[in-house]
Structure 1
Protein backbone atom coordinates (compact mmCIF):
# COMPACT_ATOMS: atom_id res chain seq x y z
CA UNK A 1 0.00 0.00 0.00
CA UNK A 2 2.85 2.38 0.81
CA UNK A 3 4.42 1.76 -2.62
CA UNK A 4 1.05 2.39 -4.30
CA UNK A 5 0.64 5.71 -2.52
CA UNK A 6 4.13 6.77 -3.57
CA UNK A 7 3.35 6.01 -7.21
CA UNK A 8 -0.02 7.78 -6.99
CA UNK A 9 1.49 10.93 -5.52
CA UNK A 10 4.01 11.04 -8.37
CA UNK A 11 1.53 10.93 -11.24
CA UNK A 12 -1.67 12.48 -9.87
CA UNK A 13 -1.69 16.28 -9.78
CA UNK A 14 -3.41 17.57 -6.69
CA UNK A 15 -6.43 19.88 -7.24
CA UNK A 16 -5.57 23.51 -6.72
CA UNK A 17 -8.25 26.21 -6.62
CA UNK A 18 -7.58 28.54 -9.58
CA UNK A 19 -6.82 32.12 -8.65
CA UNK A 20 -9.80 34.44 -8.96
CA UNK A 21 -9.76 37.22 -11.57
CA UNK A 22 -9.51 40.91 -10.81
CA UNK A 23 -12.45 42.33 -8.82
CA UNK A 24 -15.34 43.53 -10.98
CA UNK A 25 -16.22 46.47 -8.76
CA UNK A 26 -14.52 49.24 -6.82
CA UNK A 27 -14.74 49.50 -3.05
CA UNK A 28 -16.38 52.92 -3.26
CA UNK A 29 -18.69 54.50 -5.86
CA UNK A 30 -16.77 56.71 -8.28
CA UNK A 31 -19.93 58.80 -8.80
CA UNK A 32 -21.90 59.30 -5.57
CA UNK A 33 -25.62 58.55 -5.57
CA UNK A 34 -27.95 58.37 -2.58
CA UNK A 35 -30.32 55.63 -3.69
CA UNK A 36 -32.57 55.93 -0.63
CA UNK A 37 -33.25 59.68 -0.96
CA UNK A 38 -32.33 60.88 -4.44
CA UNK A 39 -35.44 59.50 -6.16
CA UNK A 40 -37.95 61.92 -4.64
CA UNK A 41 -35.45 64.79 -4.56
CA UNK A 42 -34.69 64.40 -8.26
CA UNK A 43 -38.37 64.14 -9.19
CA UNK A 44 -39.11 67.32 -7.24
CA UNK A 45 -36.15 69.17 -8.75
CA UNK A 46 -37.02 68.30 -12.34
CA UNK A 47 -40.76 68.81 -11.81
CA UNK A 48 -40.14 72.33 -10.53
CA UNK A 49 -37.57 73.20 -13.22
CA UNK A 50 -38.20 76.35 -15.23
CA UNK A 51 -36.00 77.84 -17.99
CA UNK A 52 -34.13 80.88 -16.77
CA UNK A 53 -34.98 83.12 -19.72
CA UNK A 54 -38.56 84.02 -20.72
CA UNK A 55 -37.59 84.25 -24.40
CA UNK A 56 -37.31 80.46 -24.49
CA UNK A 57 -40.08 78.82 -22.49
CA UNK A 58 -39.35 75.29 -23.75
CA UNK A 59 -35.90 73.72 -24.02
CA UNK A 60 -35.27 71.54 -27.07
CA UNK A 61 -33.21 68.35 -26.71
CA UNK A 62 -32.04 66.37 -29.75
CA UNK A 63 -31.52 62.62 -29.45
CA UNK A 64 -29.20 61.10 -32.04
CA UNK A 65 -27.13 57.97 -32.39
CA UNK A 66 -26.88 54.65 -34.18
CA UNK A 67 -29.92 52.58 -34.99
CA UNK A 68 -31.12 50.49 -32.05
CA UNK A 69 -29.19 52.45 -29.41
CA UNK A 70 -32.36 53.23 -27.45
CA UNK A 71 -33.21 56.84 -28.36
CA UNK A 72 -36.99 56.39 -28.44
CA UNK A 73 -36.81 54.10 -25.41
CA UNK A 74 -34.94 56.79 -23.47
CA UNK A 75 -37.74 59.29 -24.05
CA UNK A 76 -40.30 56.66 -23.03
CA UNK A 77 -38.27 56.01 -19.88
CA UNK A 78 -38.30 59.74 -19.05
CA UNK A 79 -42.05 59.78 -19.59
CA UNK A 80 -42.46 56.67 -17.40
CA UNK A 81 -40.56 58.31 -14.54
CA UNK A 82 -43.02 61.23 -14.51
CA UNK A 83 -46.21 59.31 -15.19
CA UNK A 84 -45.40 56.53 -12.71
CA UNK A 85 -46.38 53.88 -15.25
CA UNK A 86 -45.10 52.22 -18.40
CA UNK A 87 -45.81 54.19 -21.58
CA UNK A 88 -44.97 53.90 -25.27
CA UNK A 89 -45.48 57.45 -26.50
CA UNK A 90 -42.42 57.21 -28.76
CA UNK A 91 -42.57 54.01 -30.77
CA UNK A 92 -39.42 51.97 -30.27
CA UNK A 93 -38.37 48.95 -32.30
CA UNK A 94 -37.67 45.72 -30.44
CA UNK A 95 -35.65 44.15 -33.26
CA UNK A 96 -33.03 45.13 -35.80
CA UNK A 97 -34.50 45.02 -39.29
CA UNK A 98 -31.61 46.87 -40.94
CA UNK A 99 -33.23 50.29 -40.79
CA UNK A 100 -34.29 52.80 -38.18
CA UNK A 101 -37.85 52.58 -36.88
CA UNK A 102 -38.00 56.39 -36.52
CA UNK A 103 -38.30 57.80 -40.04
CA UNK A 104 -39.57 61.30 -39.31
CA UNK A 105 -38.34 64.19 -37.22
CA UNK A 106 -40.68 63.83 -34.26
CA UNK A 107 -40.91 66.04 -31.21
CA UNK A 108 -42.24 64.69 -27.92
CA UNK A 109 -43.39 66.50 -24.80
CA UNK A 110 -44.00 65.12 -21.33
CA UNK A 111 -47.45 65.79 -19.88
CA UNK A 112 -47.36 67.52 -16.50
CA UNK A 113 -50.95 67.17 -15.35
CA UNK A 114 -54.42 66.12 -16.43
CA UNK A 115 -55.26 69.69 -17.34
CA UNK A 116 -53.07 69.29 -20.41
CA UNK A 117 -50.01 71.31 -19.44
CA UNK A 118 -46.52 70.07 -20.32
CA UNK A 119 -43.07 70.29 -18.79
CA UNK A 120 -40.86 73.06 -20.24
CA UNK A 121 -38.73 70.76 -22.35
CA UNK A 122 -39.18 68.60 -25.43
CA UNK A 123 -37.25 65.80 -27.11
CA UNK A 124 -36.64 65.62 -30.84
CA UNK A 125 -36.20 62.03 -32.00
CA UNK A 126 -34.72 61.34 -35.43
CA UNK A 127 -33.79 58.36 -37.57
CA UNK A 128 -30.83 56.35 -36.35
CA UNK A 129 -27.48 56.96 -38.02
CA UNK A 130 -26.63 54.31 -40.64
CA UNK A 131 -23.90 53.87 -43.17
CA UNK A 132 -23.63 56.56 -45.84
CA UNK A 133 -26.52 56.45 -48.31
CA UNK A 134 -28.87 54.51 -46.01
CA UNK A 135 -29.83 56.68 -43.04
CA UNK A 136 -30.21 60.33 -42.13
CA UNK A 137 -27.70 62.70 -43.73
CA UNK A 138 -25.29 64.53 -41.46
CA UNK A 139 -26.13 67.84 -43.14
CA UNK A 140 -29.79 67.42 -42.17
CA UNK A 141 -28.89 66.92 -38.49
CA UNK A 142 -26.82 70.11 -38.63
CA UNK A 143 -29.77 71.99 -40.11
CA UNK A 144 -31.87 70.62 -37.27
CA UNK A 145 -29.35 71.92 -34.72
CA UNK A 146 -29.75 75.39 -36.20
CA UNK A 147 -33.55 75.23 -36.03
CA UNK A 148 -34.21 75.01 -39.77
CA UNK A 149 -36.25 71.77 -39.76
CA UNK A 150 -39.82 71.64 -38.49
CA UNK A 151 -41.43 68.71 -36.73
CA UNK A 152 -42.77 66.03 -39.06
CA UNK A 153 -40.06 66.24 -41.73
CA UNK A 154 -39.29 62.86 -43.29
CA UNK A 155 -35.58 62.50 -43.93
CA UNK A 156 -34.36 61.52 -47.37
CA UNK A 157 -31.21 59.32 -47.23
CA UNK A 158 -30.02 60.47 -50.66
CA UNK A 159 -30.98 64.15 -50.62
CA UNK A 160 -30.68 66.72 -47.87
CA UNK A 161 -33.46 69.20 -47.09
CA UNK A 162 -33.55 72.43 -49.14
CA UNK A 163 -35.03 75.86 -48.51
CA UNK A 164 -37.90 75.00 -50.87
CA UNK A 165 -39.09 72.17 -48.62
CA UNK A 166 -42.34 73.03 -46.76
CA UNK A 167 -40.77 71.73 -43.55
CA UNK A 168 -37.79 74.10 -43.85
CA UNK A 169 -37.80 77.16 -41.57
CA UNK A 170 -35.91 80.06 -43.14
CA UNK A 171 -35.40 82.35 -40.17
CA UNK A 172 -35.24 80.30 -36.97
CA UNK A 173 -34.92 82.08 -33.64
CA UNK A 174 -33.23 80.93 -30.45
CA UNK A 175 -36.35 79.07 -29.32
CA UNK A 176 -36.30 77.03 -32.57
CA UNK A 177 -32.74 75.78 -32.16
CA UNK A 178 -31.56 72.68 -30.37
CA UNK A 179 -30.38 73.60 -26.87
CA UNK A 180 -28.64 70.33 -25.97
CA UNK A 181 -27.34 67.52 -28.18
CA UNK A 182 -27.69 64.07 -26.64
CA UNK A 183 -25.82 61.17 -28.22
CA UNK A 184 -27.29 57.79 -27.29
CA UNK A 185 -24.85 54.86 -27.33
CA UNK A 186 -25.45 51.24 -26.22
CA UNK A 187 -22.97 50.05 -23.58
CA UNK A 188 -23.16 46.41 -24.63
CA UNK A 189 -22.18 46.98 -28.29
CA UNK A 190 -20.35 50.33 -28.28
CA UNK A 191 -17.14 48.55 -29.29
CA UNK A 192 -18.86 47.20 -32.41
CA UNK A 193 -20.38 50.41 -33.76
CA UNK A 194 -19.36 50.98 -37.37
CA UNK A 195 -16.56 53.53 -37.64
CA UNK A 196 -18.43 55.41 -40.35
CA UNK A 197 -21.33 55.91 -37.93
CA UNK A 198 -18.93 57.21 -35.30
CA UNK A 199 -17.41 59.57 -37.86
CA UNK A 200 -20.86 61.01 -38.65
CA UNK A 201 -21.59 61.48 -34.96
CA UNK A 202 -18.25 63.24 -34.49
CA UNK A 203 -19.12 65.62 -37.34
CA UNK A 204 -22.43 66.47 -35.69
CA UNK A 205 -20.71 66.94 -32.33
CA UNK A 206 -18.09 69.22 -33.90
CA UNK A 207 -20.79 71.41 -35.42
CA UNK A 208 -22.67 71.52 -32.12
CA UNK A 209 -19.45 72.59 -30.44
CA UNK A 210 -18.93 75.34 -33.02
CA UNK A 211 -22.48 76.55 -32.34
CA UNK A 212 -21.89 76.47 -28.58
CA UNK A 213 -24.51 73.74 -28.05
CA UNK A 214 -23.70 71.49 -25.08
CA UNK A 215 -23.35 67.74 -25.68
CA UNK A 216 -23.86 64.76 -23.41
CA UNK A 217 -23.94 60.99 -23.90
CA UNK A 218 -26.68 58.74 -22.61
CA UNK A 219 -25.18 55.25 -22.35
CA UNK A 220 -27.98 52.69 -22.49
CA UNK A 221 -28.23 48.92 -22.00
CA UNK A 222 -25.93 48.88 -18.97
CA UNK A 223 -27.61 45.72 -17.69
CA UNK A 224 -26.64 43.90 -20.89
CA UNK A 225 -23.03 45.08 -20.61
CA UNK A 226 -22.35 44.09 -16.99
CA UNK A 227 -23.69 41.04 -15.07
CA UNK A 228 -23.02 42.83 -11.78
CA UNK A 229 -25.34 45.68 -12.79
CA UNK A 230 -27.90 43.27 -14.24
CA UNK A 231 -28.23 41.67 -10.80
CA UNK A 232 -28.20 44.97 -8.92
CA UNK A 233 -28.60 48.28 -10.76
CA UNK A 234 -27.34 50.17 -7.71
CA UNK A 235 -23.88 48.73 -8.46
CA UNK A 236 -23.66 50.87 -11.58
CA UNK A 237 -21.21 53.38 -10.07
CA UNK A 238 -18.97 50.76 -8.53
CA UNK A 239 -18.86 48.55 -11.64
CA UNK A 240 -15.47 48.62 -13.34
CA UNK A 241 -17.08 47.38 -16.55
CA UNK A 242 -19.48 50.32 -16.71
CA UNK A 243 -16.67 52.77 -16.00
CA UNK A 244 -14.64 51.19 -18.81
CA UNK A 245 -17.58 51.49 -21.21
CA UNK A 246 -18.07 55.15 -20.29
CA UNK A 247 -14.40 55.83 -20.98
CA UNK A 248 -14.77 54.07 -24.33
CA UNK A 249 -17.74 56.29 -25.22
CA UNK A 250 -15.68 59.32 -24.21
CA UNK A 251 -12.81 58.33 -26.50
CA UNK A 252 -15.11 57.60 -29.46
CA UNK A 253 -16.96 60.94 -29.42
CA UNK A 254 -14.68 63.22 -27.39
CA UNK A 255 -17.31 63.93 -24.72
CA UNK A 256 -15.81 64.07 -21.19
CA UNK A 257 -16.78 61.27 -18.80
CA UNK A 258 -18.52 63.68 -16.42
CA UNK A 259 -21.01 64.40 -19.24
CA UNK A 260 -21.81 60.71 -19.78
CA UNK A 261 -24.79 59.19 -18.00
CA UNK A 262 -25.29 55.41 -17.86
CA UNK A 263 -28.94 54.38 -17.70
CA UNK A 264 -31.20 51.41 -18.07
CA UNK A 265 -34.19 52.08 -20.28
CA UNK A 266 -37.50 50.43 -19.54
CA UNK A 267 -37.82 47.43 -21.85
CA UNK A 268 -39.39 44.33 -20.36
CA UNK A 269 -40.85 45.84 -17.20
CA UNK A 270 -44.58 46.15 -16.59
CA UNK A 271 -44.22 48.60 -13.72
CA UNK A 272 -41.82 51.45 -12.95
CA UNK A 273 -38.78 51.02 -10.73
CA UNK A 274 -37.29 53.62 -8.37
CA UNK A 275 -33.64 52.79 -9.16
CA UNK A 276 -34.25 52.99 -12.92
CA UNK A 277 -36.07 56.30 -12.45
CA UNK A 278 -33.23 57.79 -10.36
CA UNK A 279 -30.68 57.23 -13.15
CA UNK A 280 -33.07 58.59 -15.79
CA UNK A 281 -33.98 61.69 -13.76
CA UNK A 282 -30.36 62.38 -12.81
CA UNK A 283 -29.42 62.40 -16.50
CA UNK A 284 -32.40 64.60 -17.37
CA UNK A 285 -31.61 67.10 -14.59
CA UNK A 286 -28.12 67.66 -15.97
CA UNK A 287 -29.32 67.84 -19.58
CA UNK A 288 -31.81 70.57 -18.62
CA UNK A 289 -29.17 72.52 -16.71
CA UNK A 290 -26.78 72.38 -19.67
CA UNK A 291 -29.52 73.41 -22.11
CA UNK A 292 -30.58 76.29 -19.87
CA UNK A 293 -26.97 77.49 -19.57
CA UNK A 294 -26.70 77.52 -23.37
CA UNK A 295 -29.85 79.64 -23.76
CA UNK A 296 -28.71 82.14 -21.16
CA UNK A 297 -25.25 82.36 -22.76
CA UNK A 298 -26.82 83.04 -26.16
CA UNK A 299 -29.06 85.77 -24.75
CA UNK A 300 -26.13 87.36 -22.91
CA UNK A 301 -24.10 87.34 -26.14
CA UNK A 302 -26.93 89.01 -28.08
CA UNK A 303 -27.38 91.67 -25.40
CA UNK A 304 -23.67 92.40 -25.40
CA UNK A 305 -23.69 93.34 -29.07
Structure 2
Protein backbone atom coordinates (compact mmCIF):
# COMPACT_ATOMS: atom_id res chain seq x y z
CA UNK A 1 0.00 0.00 0.00
CA UNK A 2 1.11 3.50 -0.65
CA UNK A 3 2.00 5.66 2.31
CA UNK A 4 -0.51 8.27 3.45
CA UNK A 5 2.43 10.63 3.68
CA UNK A 6 3.89 9.99 0.22
CA UNK A 7 5.45 13.12 -1.25
CA UNK A 8 4.12 14.88 -4.33
CA UNK A 9 6.64 14.68 -7.14
CA UNK A 10 8.61 17.92 -7.54
CA UNK A 11 7.96 19.44 -10.96
CA UNK A 12 10.99 19.28 -13.21
CA UNK A 13 12.67 22.66 -13.86
CA UNK A 14 13.39 21.43 -17.37
CA UNK A 15 11.21 21.35 -20.47
CA UNK A 16 10.79 18.08 -22.36
CA UNK A 17 11.79 19.83 -25.56
CA UNK A 18 14.28 22.74 -25.70
CA UNK A 19 12.79 26.16 -26.49
CA UNK A 20 15.94 26.94 -28.46
CA UNK A 21 18.82 24.95 -29.85
CA UNK A 22 22.56 25.49 -30.06
CA UNK A 23 24.03 24.78 -33.47
CA UNK A 24 27.23 22.71 -33.64
CA UNK A 25 28.29 24.86 -36.61
CA UNK A 26 28.18 28.15 -34.65
CA UNK A 27 31.92 28.28 -34.00
CA UNK A 28 32.67 27.38 -37.61
CA UNK A 29 30.40 30.21 -38.76
CA UNK A 30 32.09 32.76 -36.48
CA UNK A 31 35.60 31.70 -37.46
CA UNK A 32 34.81 31.87 -41.17
CA UNK A 33 32.61 34.96 -41.19
CA UNK A 34 33.46 37.58 -43.82
CA UNK A 35 31.48 40.74 -44.55
CA UNK A 36 30.21 41.18 -48.08
CA UNK A 37 32.40 44.22 -48.78
CA UNK A 38 36.16 43.76 -48.86
CA UNK A 39 38.03 45.21 -45.87
CA UNK A 40 34.71 45.91 -44.12
CA UNK A 41 34.63 45.58 -40.33
CA UNK A 42 31.51 44.69 -38.35
CA UNK A 43 31.30 46.72 -35.14
CA UNK A 44 29.43 45.40 -32.08
CA UNK A 45 28.74 47.81 -29.20
CA UNK A 46 28.01 46.36 -25.76
CA UNK A 47 26.05 48.39 -23.22
CA UNK A 48 24.12 47.65 -20.05
CA UNK A 49 24.10 48.06 -16.26
CA UNK A 50 27.26 48.11 -14.17
CA UNK A 51 28.54 44.60 -13.44
CA UNK A 52 26.40 42.86 -16.07
CA UNK A 53 29.41 41.16 -17.66
CA UNK A 54 30.26 43.18 -20.78
CA UNK A 55 34.03 42.88 -20.32
CA UNK A 56 33.71 39.23 -19.30
CA UNK A 57 31.79 38.49 -22.50
CA UNK A 58 34.57 40.06 -24.56
CA UNK A 59 37.13 37.92 -22.72
CA UNK A 60 34.95 34.84 -23.18
CA UNK A 61 34.65 35.37 -26.94
CA UNK A 62 38.39 35.91 -27.16
CA UNK A 63 39.01 32.78 -25.09
CA UNK A 64 36.96 30.51 -27.34
CA UNK A 65 38.53 31.88 -30.52
CA UNK A 66 42.09 31.71 -29.10
CA UNK A 67 41.46 28.26 -27.60
CA UNK A 68 42.68 29.36 -24.18
CA UNK A 69 41.32 31.45 -21.30
CA UNK A 70 42.06 35.14 -22.08
CA UNK A 71 41.81 38.19 -19.84
CA UNK A 72 42.50 41.14 -22.17
CA UNK A 73 39.48 43.18 -21.05
CA UNK A 74 39.99 44.04 -17.38
CA UNK A 75 37.25 42.94 -14.99
CA UNK A 76 36.74 43.45 -11.27
CA UNK A 77 35.12 41.05 -8.83
CA UNK A 78 35.15 43.31 -5.77
CA UNK A 79 33.84 46.73 -6.78
CA UNK A 80 30.16 47.54 -7.09
CA UNK A 81 31.08 50.54 -9.18
CA UNK A 82 31.82 50.60 -12.89
CA UNK A 83 35.26 49.16 -13.63
CA UNK A 84 35.34 50.05 -17.33
CA UNK A 85 35.82 53.81 -17.61
CA UNK A 86 36.80 54.37 -21.25
CA UNK A 87 35.38 53.62 -24.68
CA UNK A 88 37.50 50.72 -25.93
CA UNK A 89 37.64 48.66 -29.12
CA UNK A 90 38.73 45.02 -28.90
CA UNK A 91 40.07 43.27 -31.98
CA UNK A 92 40.49 39.52 -31.82
CA UNK A 93 43.59 37.87 -33.25
CA UNK A 94 43.12 35.36 -36.05
CA UNK A 95 46.56 34.02 -36.83
CA UNK A 96 48.60 36.89 -38.23
CA UNK A 97 45.50 39.02 -38.90
CA UNK A 98 42.29 39.87 -37.03
CA UNK A 99 38.71 38.69 -37.27
CA UNK A 100 36.53 41.07 -39.36
CA UNK A 101 34.41 42.04 -36.37
CA UNK A 102 35.24 44.13 -33.30
CA UNK A 103 33.60 44.50 -29.90
CA UNK A 104 33.32 47.86 -28.18
CA UNK A 105 33.14 48.14 -24.41
CA UNK A 106 31.86 51.24 -22.64
CA UNK A 107 31.08 52.52 -19.17
CA UNK A 108 28.23 50.66 -17.49
CA UNK A 109 24.89 52.31 -16.86
CA UNK A 110 24.29 53.06 -13.18
CA UNK A 111 21.46 55.56 -12.86
CA UNK A 112 19.58 56.41 -9.70
CA UNK A 113 17.92 59.37 -11.41
CA UNK A 114 18.33 61.53 -14.48
CA UNK A 115 20.45 63.92 -12.42
CA UNK A 116 22.66 61.14 -11.07
CA UNK A 117 23.86 59.41 -14.22
CA UNK A 118 27.22 58.08 -15.33
CA UNK A 119 27.13 58.77 -19.07
CA UNK A 120 25.60 61.37 -21.33
CA UNK A 121 23.15 59.53 -23.62
CA UNK A 122 23.99 61.87 -26.51
CA UNK A 123 27.56 60.56 -26.30
CA UNK A 124 26.27 57.04 -26.92
CA UNK A 125 24.58 58.29 -30.09
CA UNK A 126 27.91 59.78 -31.18
CA UNK A 127 29.52 56.39 -30.57
CA UNK A 128 26.82 54.66 -32.62
CA UNK A 129 27.55 57.06 -35.49
CA UNK A 130 31.29 56.43 -35.26
CA UNK A 131 32.26 59.85 -33.90
CA UNK A 132 34.01 58.65 -30.72
CA UNK A 133 37.63 57.52 -30.66
CA UNK A 134 39.11 54.93 -28.34
CA UNK A 135 40.11 56.20 -24.91
CA UNK A 136 37.21 58.61 -24.41
CA UNK A 137 35.84 58.77 -20.86
CA UNK A 138 32.09 59.41 -20.77
CA UNK A 139 31.12 62.51 -18.82
CA UNK A 140 27.57 62.69 -17.41
CA UNK A 141 27.68 66.48 -17.22
CA UNK A 142 28.95 67.33 -20.70
CA UNK A 143 28.57 65.59 -24.02
CA UNK A 144 31.55 65.20 -26.33
CA UNK A 145 32.26 68.39 -28.28
CA UNK A 146 33.38 68.50 -31.90
CA UNK A 147 36.58 70.21 -30.80
CA UNK A 148 37.56 67.40 -28.42
CA UNK A 149 40.58 65.27 -29.37
CA UNK A 150 38.43 62.14 -29.00
CA UNK A 151 35.90 63.37 -31.56
CA UNK A 152 36.14 61.65 -34.96
CA UNK A 153 35.04 64.24 -37.51
CA UNK A 154 34.91 61.92 -40.52
CA UNK A 155 33.83 58.41 -39.49
CA UNK A 156 33.95 55.66 -42.08
CA UNK A 157 31.53 52.74 -42.24
CA UNK A 158 34.11 50.77 -40.24
CA UNK A 159 33.83 53.26 -37.36
CA UNK A 160 30.04 53.00 -37.14
CA UNK A 161 28.18 50.52 -34.93
CA UNK A 162 26.24 47.83 -36.80
CA UNK A 163 24.56 46.04 -33.89
CA UNK A 164 23.84 47.16 -30.32
CA UNK A 165 23.97 44.48 -27.63
CA UNK A 166 22.34 45.04 -24.24
CA UNK A 167 24.13 42.92 -21.62
CA UNK A 168 21.98 42.05 -18.58
CA UNK A 169 22.71 40.02 -15.45
CA UNK A 170 20.06 37.29 -15.24
CA UNK A 171 20.19 37.58 -11.43
CA UNK A 172 19.20 41.24 -11.34
CA UNK A 173 17.13 41.90 -14.46
CA UNK A 174 13.91 42.05 -12.42
CA UNK A 175 15.57 44.26 -9.77
CA UNK A 176 16.79 47.09 -12.00
CA UNK A 177 15.48 50.46 -10.87
CA UNK A 178 13.31 52.55 -13.16
CA UNK A 179 16.11 55.03 -13.88
CA UNK A 180 18.43 52.28 -15.17
CA UNK A 181 15.68 50.74 -17.31
CA UNK A 182 14.94 54.21 -18.69
CA UNK A 183 18.63 54.75 -19.46
CA UNK A 184 18.76 51.45 -21.38
CA UNK A 185 15.65 52.47 -23.29
CA UNK A 186 17.16 55.89 -24.08
CA UNK A 187 20.20 54.19 -25.62
CA UNK A 188 17.94 51.83 -27.57
CA UNK A 189 15.88 54.78 -28.84
CA UNK A 190 19.05 56.43 -30.18
CA UNK A 191 19.95 53.18 -31.97
CA UNK A 192 16.45 52.85 -33.39
CA UNK A 193 16.65 56.38 -34.81
CA UNK A 194 19.82 55.29 -36.63
CA UNK A 195 18.21 51.99 -37.76
CA UNK A 196 20.76 49.97 -35.81
CA UNK A 197 19.39 46.55 -34.76
CA UNK A 198 19.46 45.50 -31.12
CA UNK A 199 19.78 42.20 -29.30
CA UNK A 200 20.35 41.27 -25.65
CA UNK A 201 22.40 38.66 -23.83
CA UNK A 202 21.61 37.27 -20.38
CA UNK A 203 24.81 36.63 -18.45
CA UNK A 204 25.51 34.72 -15.21
CA UNK A 205 22.80 32.18 -16.04
CA UNK A 206 24.66 29.54 -14.05
CA UNK A 207 24.36 31.69 -10.90
CA UNK A 208 20.68 32.47 -11.46
CA UNK A 209 19.42 28.98 -12.32
CA UNK A 210 20.53 25.86 -10.38
CA UNK A 211 19.61 23.53 -13.24
CA UNK A 212 22.10 25.35 -15.50
CA UNK A 213 24.75 25.53 -12.80
CA UNK A 214 24.41 21.74 -12.51
CA UNK A 215 24.70 21.25 -16.27
CA UNK A 216 25.29 24.08 -18.78
CA UNK A 217 23.71 21.98 -21.53
CA UNK A 218 20.33 22.56 -19.80
CA UNK A 219 20.40 26.19 -20.91
CA UNK A 220 17.86 25.72 -23.69
CA UNK A 221 15.56 23.54 -21.58
CA UNK A 222 15.32 25.76 -18.49
CA UNK A 223 11.72 26.78 -17.78
CA UNK A 224 12.72 29.59 -15.43
CA UNK A 225 15.19 31.09 -17.91
CA UNK A 226 12.54 31.10 -20.63
CA UNK A 227 10.10 32.83 -18.26
CA UNK A 228 12.74 35.39 -17.22
CA UNK A 229 13.11 36.47 -20.86
CA UNK A 230 9.53 37.75 -20.84
CA UNK A 231 10.40 40.52 -18.36
CA UNK A 232 13.52 41.69 -20.17
CA UNK A 233 14.28 45.17 -21.42
CA UNK A 234 11.73 45.47 -24.21
CA UNK A 235 13.66 43.33 -26.68
CA UNK A 236 11.79 40.45 -28.40
CA UNK A 237 12.43 37.01 -26.90
CA UNK A 238 13.91 35.73 -30.17
CA UNK A 239 16.55 38.46 -29.92
CA UNK A 240 17.71 37.52 -26.40
CA UNK A 241 20.46 34.94 -25.91
CA UNK A 242 21.69 33.25 -22.72
CA UNK A 243 25.43 33.31 -21.97
CA UNK A 244 27.70 31.67 -19.42
CA UNK A 245 30.92 33.73 -19.41
CA UNK A 246 34.31 32.43 -18.42
CA UNK A 247 34.98 33.94 -15.02
CA UNK A 248 36.65 31.64 -12.50
CA UNK A 249 37.59 28.87 -14.94
CA UNK A 250 41.21 28.30 -15.92
CA UNK A 251 40.47 25.81 -18.68
CA UNK A 252 37.97 25.88 -21.54
CA UNK A 253 34.77 23.86 -21.43
CA UNK A 254 33.14 22.78 -24.73
CA UNK A 255 29.63 23.28 -23.31
CA UNK A 256 30.42 26.86 -22.25
CA UNK A 257 32.07 27.48 -25.63
CA UNK A 258 28.89 26.36 -27.39
CA UNK A 259 26.70 28.83 -25.46
CA UNK A 260 29.09 31.74 -26.14
CA UNK A 261 29.42 30.97 -29.86
CA UNK A 262 25.67 30.56 -30.27
CA UNK A 263 25.10 34.07 -28.90
CA UNK A 264 27.94 35.55 -30.96
CA UNK A 265 26.70 33.95 -34.17
CA UNK A 266 23.26 35.55 -33.74
CA UNK A 267 24.86 38.91 -32.92
CA UNK A 268 27.04 38.77 -36.04
CA UNK A 269 24.15 37.67 -38.27
CA UNK A 270 21.98 40.51 -36.97
CA UNK A 271 24.73 43.09 -37.53
CA UNK A 272 25.62 41.67 -40.93
CA UNK A 273 22.03 41.94 -42.15
CA UNK A 274 22.03 45.60 -41.12
CA UNK A 275 25.40 46.23 -42.75
CA UNK A 276 24.33 44.64 -46.04
CA UNK A 277 21.15 46.74 -46.03
CA UNK A 278 23.26 49.90 -45.71
CA UNK A 279 25.60 48.83 -48.48
CA UNK A 280 22.68 48.07 -50.81
CA UNK A 281 21.20 51.51 -50.17
CA UNK A 282 24.51 53.12 -51.19
CA UNK A 283 24.63 51.40 -54.59
Question: Does the pair score TM above 0.5?
Answer: yes
Which of 13, 23, 27 is 1:43 aligned to?
27
Which of 101, 122, 125 is 2:83 aligned to?
101
The 5-angstrom pairing of residues 257-276 of structure 1 reads 257-276=237-256
8 A contact 2:35–2:41 mirrored in 1: yes
**Correspondence for 1:190:** 173
**Correspondence for 1:19:** 8
Aligned residue pairs: how many?
Answer: 278
For 1:78 and 1:138, the matched residues in 2 are separated by 27
8 A contact 1:225–1:241 mirrored in 2: no
For 2:215 and 2:20, the matched residues in 1 are separated by 16
For 1:64 and 1:32, the matched residues in 2 are separated by 25
Q: Mind listing any 5+ residue stretches in structure 1 that lack a counterpart?
A: 1-13
**Correspondence for 1:237:** 220
For 1:171 and 1:33, the matched residues in 2 are separated by 40
* Greater percentage in helix: 1
Larger Rg: 1
For 2:191 and 2:215, the matched residues in 1 are separated by 36
Match of 1:236, SS state, is helix
For 1:69 and 1:47, the matched residues in 2 are separated by 26
Which of 55, 58, 68 is 1:85 aligned to?
68
**Correspondence for 2:231:** 248
Per-residue CA distance 1:115-160 (angstroms, 9 max, x = gap): 3x11001111000001143412211111111111111111112211
TM-score (norm 1): 0.87
For 1:169 and 1:280, the matched residues in 2 are separated by 32
Match of 1:218, SS state, is strand
Match of 2:221, SS state, is coil
8 A contact 1:183–1:218 mirrored in 2: yes
For 1:197 and 1:247, the matched residues in 2 are separated by 18
